[in-house]
Amino acid sequence: MEMQTTSSSQKNYRLLFYFILAWLLMNMLQACFLGLDGDEAYYWVYSRHLQWGYFDHPPMVALSIKLGELFGHGWLFTRLGAILFSAATVYFGFKALPERLQKTKEYIFVFASVVFFHIYGFVTTPDAPLLFFTALFFYAYKRYLEKENVAHVLFLAFSIVGMIYSKYHGVLPVFFTLLSNPKLVLRRSAWIVMILATAAFLPHLWWQYQNDWPTVRYHLFERSQGSYKIEKTANYILGQLLILGPFTTIVTLVLLVKKRTRGDVYFRAHVFTFFGILIFFLLNSFKKNIEPHWTLTAAISFVVLTLDLLERSTDKFKTIFFRLAAANIVLLLLVRVLLAIPNTPAKNLDRFQVQVYSQSWADSLYKKAAGTPVVFVDNYHYPSIYAYYHPDQLSTSYSTVYYRKSTYTFQNGEAFNNKTVYIVRQSKMADGDIEVKSSYVPTFLHKVDSFKAVSGLKISWLNPLKEASKNNQVTARIELSNPMNYSIDGKNLFLNYTFFKSKSEFKTSENIPLSKKELLPGYKKTVDINISFPIEPGTYRLIFSFDQPWLGPTFASPFYEVEVK
């Protein structure tokens, strides 16, 4: 009997190995034949300068790309880390299953039917390592519950560190696992796990502190949420139904709710994680738009709960489910094949224009710029794509208050300061502008003889108001400062301010000339300017800016909330 069990186990892992090998090869081929997305190029920019943090994310994706590019520069090498993470996710996702659910054929069917795993099987974003470390976390937690020893404590701490260094969403499985097993707070080893994980995360927190907590400020204070629209919640729900599996998700969710799941303390962690994450983002959809992939950390638990549901279901339901799962897989494979083959209808979709045409666009732009540095206004994808295909050329993003900050906000602008540059926009600004013809995006180059890298200049409102009367005018005392290590020419540099009622409702003041001829490093000066408050009452967010011709107002100050009555 024991020999039969061993033989069955070996067959189980042999089939799993073959699937992992096929999965690895398929993702490598996909990486070779589909161009980079704008986000992938943006994360590649991260990898050029490894550090403990970036504006949008922790550094795991940058490290993943850097290691892949040790073998060369190109689509495959940029994505190699993500591909290897995905292959390892298949293995540890299986190891994370409760023993009773470790049936390889069923696992492969369910895993391959989930859209999440296909997208992040080769696309290099923070989500690929996050998926891997989530699978690793649950496997480590299972081992920890089996035996509470030093090795398992270190293993669990390592998996948690990996999750939170991949993406901040990595805290969610940890939180919901703790919620599913409150007795963990009584275990000394559990406290050691959290202390180790926190200590390992300190370098990233130190980076945030040194840079004035940019990620926290952006997500909690600077990002405009806008008013609630039912479409936000509807899109969230529809997105989850599609990304978990277009044909299987509804029937699976209905039965998961209808048939109460029961299991041990480990299985309960998956129940709490899956439903907890879905509910968490459902509630958040009442405040902001939710991207479908934000629930990624629920995917491993979705596989566990689905396999448990199948184990408790009738043969008839299993037959129906596997037919639906097969439909998912066939559809996904068809899409992937169409995206790999040149000139197929799939590549005419707007979503894939960047993968198809961005390289030729970058090449055309390179020829027109002829070595002149380029500054893209209000877009961080375009400079990233341009830099990816022409790494030796200078390019950056200039973000105005009408857009958003990015990791380019922290770039040293000295390389561009006082240089002749091309300002890149999607519309023509003057008769002499150069058009770059492309199937990707309309592009026009406007030449500026002496660009001012002013994104690092700061403004503080020294006498801020919480309330003001509508259409009233007050004197604001503001402090101007230059914390950078290079001088800024004050010629043709202006001050202004913008009131935001929502992201799409705003009003910017007239430009106020800056009297100072040069802002030296360490420069500080207090000036008074008149502020005219909006006519319409309401809650506004006020920001002060530096401005220069052809560009627009910068994020020079924090946002100040003012109630206009």
Count of beta carbons in the 10 Å neighbourhood of residue 77: 17
Q: Interior CA angle at 47 toward 555 and 425, to 5°?
A: 45
Between the CA of residue 403 and those of 33, 210, 290, what are the distances in Å? 32, 24, 18
- What is the average pLDDT across 541-552? 93
- What is the average pLDDT across 30-55? 96
Q: What is the pLDDT of residue 356?
A: 92
pLDDT of 553 strictly over 90: yes
Between the CA of residue 365 and those of 39, 270, 403, 441, 445, what are the distances in Å? 19, 49, 23, 11, 9
- pLDDT band for 225, please (50, 70, 90 cuts): low
Count of beta carbons in the 10 Å neighbourhood of residue 70: 8
Phi, then psi, of 74 in degrees rounded to 5: 170, 170
What b/e readout covers 494-528, taking b as 16+ CB neighbours within 10 angstroms? Answer: bbbbbbbbeeeebebbebeebebeebeeebeeeee
pLDDT of 506 strictly over 80: yes
Q: Which residues pair with 443 in a beta bridge?
A: 436
pLDDT of 5 strictly over 70: no
Of 5-9, 26-30, 278-282, 353-357, which range is least confident? 5-9
Question: Tens of pLDDT along 159-190?
Answer: 999 999 999 999 999 999 999 999 999 999 99
Specify whether the CB–CB gap between 132 and 170 falls below 8 A: no
Phi, then psi, of 311 in degrees rounded to 5: -65, -30
Question: Tens of pLDDT along 122-140?
Answer: 999 999 999 999 999 999 9
Q: What is the pLDDT of residue 413?
A: 84
**Upper half-sphere CA count for residue 61 (Cβ side, 13 Å):** 28
Closest CA to 397 of 418, 425, 376: 376
DSSP string covering 409-436, please? GGS-GGGTTTS-EEEEESS--STTPEEE
pLDDT of 346 strictly over 80: no
Between the CA of residue 475 and those of 459, 461, 530, what are the distances in Å? 15, 11, 5
Distance (Å, rounded) from C-alpha 313 to C-alpha 306?
A: 10
Q: What would the two tokens of residue 472 be?
A: 């009233």
Q: What would the two tokens of residue 347 be?
A: 């590549």
> Could you give all domains of the chain from N- to C-terminal order, each with its CATH number?
16-212+230-340 (no CATH), 352-448 (no CATH), 458-564 (2.60.40.10)
Strand pairing report for 494-500 and 538-547: antiparallel
User: What's the CA dihedral at 388, 389, 394, 398 to 10 degrees?
Assistant: -60
Between the CA of residue 156 and those of 96, 195, 264, 305, 541, what are the distances in Å? 13, 12, 19, 22, 43
- pLDDT band for 9, please (50, 70, 90 cuts): low
pLDDT of 457 strictly over 90: yes
Mean pLDDT across the chain, nearest whole number? 93
Q: What would the two tokens of residue 508 be?
A: 């910017």
Question: Tens of pLDDT along 92-123?
Answer: 999 999 999 999 999 999 999 999 999 999 99
Q: What would the two tokens of residue 230 be?
A: 């039912």
Between the CA of residue 138 and those of 25, 81, 96, 115, 543, what are the distances in Å? 26, 21, 6, 21, 44
pLDDT of 227 strictly over 80: no
pTM of the model: 0.93
Distance (Å, rounded) from C-alpha 181 to C-alpha 174?
A: 11
DSSP string covering 247-272, please? TTHHHHHHHHHHS-----HHHHHHHH
* Residue listed under structure tokens 């559809």: 331
- Residues 23, 85, 278, 157, CA torsion sign: positive
Q: What is the pLDDT of residue 3?
A: 46
* Residue listed under structure tokens 């729900």: 237
The amino acid present at 229, given as its one-letter code, is K
Distance (Å, rounded) from C-alpha 396 to C-alpha 382?
A: 9
- pLDDT band for 226, please (50, 70, 90 cuts): low
Q: What would the two tokens of residue 528 be?
A: 């008074």
Count of beta carbons in the 10 Å neighbourhood of residue 351: 9
Of 240-249, 344-353, 552-561, which range is least confident? 344-353
- pLDDT band for 1, please (50, 70, 90 cuts): very low
Phi, then psi, of 223 in degrees rounded to 5: -80, 125
pLDDT of 6 strictly over 70: no
Distance (Å, rounded) from C-alpha 401 to C-alpha 404?
A: 7
- What is the average pLDDT across 547-561? 93
Q: What is the pLDDT of residue 514?
A: 87
CA 197 to chain centre: 22
Specify whether the CB–CB gap between 121 and 25 falls below 8 A: no
Question: Tens of pLDDT along 329-343?
Answer: 999 999 999 998 888
